[in-house]
Every structure is written in structure tokens, then in C-alpha cells.
Amino acid sequence: MKIPTVSFILRADKRRKDGTAPVYCRVYYGGRSRYTSTGVRIKPGEWNARTQRVKSSCDLAELFNRQLDNLNATAVAAALDAGSAQEVVDALSGASDTLTGYVERMIDGMTESGQYWDRLKYTSILGKLHEVFGNPVGWRALTPEALRRYERYMRETRGNGPNTVKREMSRLRTIMKRAIRDGVLKSDRNPFDRYTMPKGEAVEKRHLVLGELQALAVL
């Protein structure tokens, strides 16, 4: 009896401006392939296509290879009982997923659908999360205390104002709600249930006078 085969490939076609590209898990069965993100993102020169391993030249090689090993074990176990490549992918996108991998798939979807500004916003927040919690970020890393730590990071290290901090935390909350809706995260694991959202500041709005409008017209 044939079973789905599992392999890892570097998607150089999805390379970002920072030079990194995602490593995807490819599941093949019955003449069809299905792909899912592993949450690993490296520079193409750090990938060994023959061994399907991250090279030691990458600072996070040990961590990334351990993550790939764990995913491979999950995929192989699922493949033994699966009747399609999609069943294996579904198994991988459950308990083995990370917040990093989930957000990267969100960003990939935004890129494909032309949501340029949304892609920039969520790429930015993912970068900040990596600065605070490392890469990749697991779902369990974001506890209520971790959210407060992230909030302090934006205020004290980044120097973000109250309204910016509120917007960033709102986007992170949106990620959590979406993950719960997609069945990736259990509803009782949402750290925002025990976290108080920061308050913003009122923004003063006023109408431009005629002279100001004329000045803008000649710029």
C-alpha cells in the first residue's frame, strides 16, 4: 500500500527583502502535492537541498533542524494512516504549528491577494515579536505576562506612543482570534482573555484654514 511521502524544500520564490526564504514541507501522494509552512525562514545559502537540513553556518541551525525533525516525525506518523496528502498537511498545521508559521502563511496570503499595506503591517509585527521572543515564536510563549512584556518593549525600547502600541496589540489580538477561528489555537489558550488592552490618546482634529490649503496646493 502506498503512503504519502514527506520532504522539505526551500521556497526561494518567496524570498523577502531581508534575503530570507521559507522552508516548506511538501507532502506528495497520488500524483498531487500539498505544501505547508514549517515556520523556518533562512537565507538560500544556509540550506542543504540534498540533506534537507539547515547548514551549520546559520546561527539557529540547531533550533531549526530540531523543529524540522519534529515536523518530520509528526508527518511520517500521520502518513501511515492518511489516505491523502491533505490529511498529512492538516496534521502538521495543528499541534506542530507555531505562531511564526501561522503569521507567515497569513502574510503569504496577503501577498497573493495584493493586500500590500496589510502585508507590511503584519510583517512588521512578526519582526518585533521575533526581537522579543526569538524565532520562531511558539503559541505557548504568548502568556498574559508575555503580552505585558511585549507592550513594555514597544513603549520603552521602540519608543512607540500610546496609539501605536494600542494598534499593534489589536493586530496581535486579531491574529489570536483568527487562529482560534481556524482551529489552530484552542479558545482557552487565548492570552488576551487575561490581559488588559492599553488605552490610546485622543487625537485632536481640526480643519485647515484657507492659507494652509493654498500652501499645500503649491507643494
Residue 207 confidence (pLDDT): 61
Same domain for 106 and 188? yes
Task: Among 40-49, 87-96, 118-127, name the one with the lowest average pLDDT.
Answer: 87-96
Question: Which domain CATH number covers 180?
Answer: 1.10.150
Residue 95 has pLDDT above 50, yes or no: no
Same domain for 186 and 113? yes
Ramachandran angles phi, psi of 151, nearest 5°: -65, -45
pLDDT in tens, 143-158: 999 999 999 999 999 9
> Which domain does 153 fall in, by range?
100-194
Strands 53-54 and 21-29 turn out to be: unpaired
> Residue 155 domain-assigned?
yes
Taking all residues of the chain, what is their mean pLDDT, rounded to a whole number?
84
Same domain for 89 and 159? no
Same domain for 20 and 91? yes
Residue 56 has pLDDT above 70, yes or no: yes
Q: Contact, 164 vs 154, CB < 8 A? A: yes
pLDDT confidence band for 169 (50 / 70 / 90): very high
Same domain for 156 and 170? yes
Residue 173 has pLDDT above 80, yes or no: yes
Task: Among 5-19, 34-48, 149-163, 198-212, name the one with the lowest average pLDDT.
Answer: 198-212
Same domain for 110 and 28? no
Residue 215 confidence (pLDDT): 57
> Residue 217 domain-assigned?
no
Q: Pick the residue with more confidence: 101 or 154?
A: 154
Same domain for 72 and 104? no
Same domain for 90 and 13? yes
pTM for the full predicted model: 0.53
Query: What is the percent of the chain where pLDDT is above 70?
Result: 85
pLDDT in tens, 71-88: 888 777 777 776 777 777
3-state secondary structure 37-75: EEEEEECHHHEECCCCEECCCCCCHHHHHHHHHHHHHHH
pLDDT confidence band for 110 (50 / 70 / 90): confident
Residue 96 confidence (pLDDT): 44
Same domain for 66 and 110? no
Same domain for 127 and 187? yes
How many structural domains is the chain composed of?
A: 2
Last residue of a domain, one of 75, 96, 117: 96
Same domain for 31 and 17? yes
Task: Among 67-81, 93-107, 110-124, 157-171, name the one with the lowest average pLDDT.
Answer: 93-107
> Residue 215 domain-assigned?
no
pLDDT in tens, 186-197: 888 899 999 999
Same domain for 189 and 106? yes
Q: Contact, 23 vs 42, CB < 8 A? A: yes
Alpha-carbon span 178 to 31, nearest angstrom: 32
Alpha-carbon span 122 to 131, nearest angstrom: 14
Alpha-carbon span 199 to 144, nearest angstrom: 17
> Residue 209 domain-assigned?
no
> Residue 216 domain-assigned?
no
